[in-house]
Amino acid sequence: MNRSIFALQQVARRTICNSSRRQVDNRVPKNQKLFQEDNGLPVHLKGGTADALLYRTTMALTVLGVGYVLYELVQASYPQKKD
């Protein structure tokens, strides 16, 4: 039993240590330059059209959610009609 566990540990260690690593570009300086630029935009919209779309979608869902909650509160405040 111990041999099988030891063999499994060796195989796991070998696959982790020998896996090739991908080279990833360092995008931090580019993003820092973009977000620190003084162009009058708020920080949550400096990412471009994707950020603007995400912001507008979030705002629309928030407004719809608040409207639905208010509707349900008004419905709950009236007594139920008995059949």
Write out pLDDT tens, residues 36-48: 999 888 888 888 8
48 torsion bin: left (phi>0), alpha (psi -120 to 50), beta (else): left
Full-model pTM: 0.58
Low-confidence ranges of the chain (pLDDT < 50): none
Domains of the chain: 28-83 (4.10.91.10)
Q: Which single residue is written with the structure tokens 């796991």? A: 12
Give the residue from 65, 82, 72, 55 showing the smallest Cα distance to 47: 55
Question: Which tokens go with 52?
Answer: 């603007």
